[in-house]
Structure 1
Amino acid sequence: MVGHAPPPIFRRGPAPLVRLWFFVIVCLAMLVADLHFRYLEVVRQTLSVVLYPVEMAAATPAEFVSNASKYFATLIKVQRENREMRRKALADAERLLRQTDLEQENTRLRGLMAMSERISVTSVAADVLYEARDVFSRKVIVDHGSQQDVTAGQVVVDELGVVGQVTRVYPIQSEVTLLTDKAQAVPVRVERTGQRGVVYGAGEGMLELRYLLANADVQPGDRLVTSGLDGLFLPGLPVARVVSVNRELQAFAQIVCEPVARVGHAAQVLILGRAQPAPERQVPPADTPKD
């Protein structure tokens, strides 16, 4: 119809090529102007602030994957290093324990050698194998027997003092009854005063000095040594130390002692030989008087 404008769909503006050149010129002008006057700096900073959350959100998945891979790789490495360190620590602890045990064993052996030198009889070193299976007695088994000339009644000591006495002998082993066994008795004397008595095993690692009158001169701290009256225990071997003295219960004093030796805990011991009697001196016959 006359007087009506054509619909927008049929309107035609500038040609596409013209539009392209227009926008190219505008962009170049803006670049030149920004290069000289930097008027778009504020716009760029504003856009960077506005777009920063979008950039972070876009980079989060990749960063998460990268950090997760690094975390698991580091975790595996740390776990491997921890296993190696634990293995090394266990090996070092084992070597340290073995070295400590060897040092203690060397100390005990040097003590046994010193004890052997102090005693005037022959002795043989033996290792304690295990405790006897009788729960009502205090006995141990050592690795020397009749093949090593061990006999019943021989005294057994460690580097500190008397441990017990050989009570049964087998071909390659022997049974030693410890001082603390209730069936064991040792004649002793008080080193300070010379008072004689007999020490009996009291069980639970303790001893009793029995049958001394309540007024006997015995005090806590006194050391007891073998008296040698029985002919089996050499005189002067350390046996026990007085712990307490009770004089109020009865006519005899109740004297509790503790062994000076490592009774029940010694790993190496000395089995003492029997003392040889002194040879009798030959008295030359008197000359027959002449008539």
Structure 2
Amino acid sequence: MLIPGFHQRRSWLVFLLILIVGLNLYFNFSYKTPVDERAMWIDQFFAKVLRPFQFAILKSEQFTKNSAGSLTELFQANSENRRLKTQLQAQALELQLMEELRLENQRMRVLLGFKEAQKNSFLPVKVIATDPSALFRTIIIDRGESNGVRPSMPVINTNGVVGRVFEVGLWSSRVLMISDVNSRIDAIVQRSRARVIVAGTLGGGLGLRFLPRRQDIQEGDLLVSSGLGGLFPAGYPIGKITSRRKNPNDVLEDAEVEPLVDFNRLEELFIVTNFENQKG
């Protein structure tokens, strides 16, 4: 069993032994050797004794310098990485904004071409809000009485009929979409010229109700506004018939209509300003 501290005490004993031997040799030679030779011999002796310690200290200094240099380089690399990451994020955001501007410009060109191709007068508007409730299918636009907007004016986009103005404020207005269950629009089948009434459904879609069985209507037929009823000008697309369904009495049928307008993605619209409401 080793005595605690034995190795440490042994190291000190060895060191003292070397020191005693060195001093003994020094004093023995000091009387027999000239001064210059004694000095040279002492330098050589201590150089040999201290060389391992000097080497260890030198290596330790080099390691410390290398470690400090590595840490500095690592810190600089991390800082550069963070800077580049921030720069990339900023560039990604800038590209996203540029893409949104490009898409908006593209939509504006389509709207401009659509407006120039029509005989009606239009007021461009933007959707600024939607009705959060499920009771009404309405949107709010950024034009009102101060811009010449009046109740019952038709609202369309480049795909077809959207709805009509039913509430007007000074700077904004509310539009009732044709997909609202309270909405009705007089229409015709473009192919057969059959007259029908398009109504909004509870699910926010469109449909035809109580159709005579002999009505010339087929799946895929396009429905356009008839101009009758005094609410919408004639010729604007509404939707396509997707199916017909018989009622239990076998006399009348229903039909489902797929709207051409995506009511969940409305942004830029037109108000038809030169169509006078002739209803009544």
- For normalisation by structure 2, the TM-score amounts to 0.71
Partner SS, residue 72 of structure 2? helix
Match of 2:52 in 1: none
Match of 2:242 in 1: 243
Query: What pairs with 1:26-175 in structure 2 (closer than 5 Å)?
Result: 61-62=60-61, 64-175=63-174
Q: Spell out, residue by residue over 1:145-200, the C-alpha distance to the aligned partner (whole angstroms, 9 max, x if none).
A: 11222111111111211111101111221110112211111111222222221111
- One-letter amino acid of the structure 1 residue matched with residue 75 of structure 2: I
Q: Does the 8 A contact of 1:179 with 1:263 survive in 2?
A: no
- How far apart are 1:233 and its partner, in Å? 0.6
Match of 1:47 in 2: none
Q: Runs of 4+ in structure 1 displaced over 6 angstroms?
A: 56-60
- One-letter amino acid of the structure 1 residue matched with residue 98 of structure 2: Q
Match of 1:180 in 2: 179
Match of 2:262 in 1: 262
Using the alignment, how far apart are the partners of 1:138 and 1:117 within structure 2?
Answer: 29
Q: Relative to structure 1, is the Cα distance of residues 276 and 130 closer, same or farther in structure 2, using a 3 angstrom cutoff?
A: closer
Q: Unaligned stretches of 5+ in structure 1?
A: 1-8, 25-55, 278-291
- How far apart are 1:79 and its partner, in Å? 2.4
Percent sequence identity is 26
- How far apart are 1:124 and its partner, in Å? 0.7
- One-letter amino acid of the structure 1 residue matched with residue 262 of structure 2: R
Match of 2:273 in 1: 273
**Which stretch shifts more, 103-112 or 149-158?**
103-112
Q: Which has the larger radius of gyration?
A: 1
Q: Unaligned stretches of 5+ in structure 2?
A: 1-23, 41-54
- How far apart are 1:141 and its partner, in Å? 1.0
Partner SS, residue 127 of structure 1? strand
- One-letter amino acid of the structure 2 residue matched with residue 237 of structure 1: Y
Using the alignment, how far apart are the partners of 1:249 and 1:107 within structure 2?
Answer: 49
The alignment covers a number of residue pairs equal to 239
- How far apart are 1:270 and its partner, in Å? 0.5
- How far apart are 1:248 and its partner, in Å? 7.1
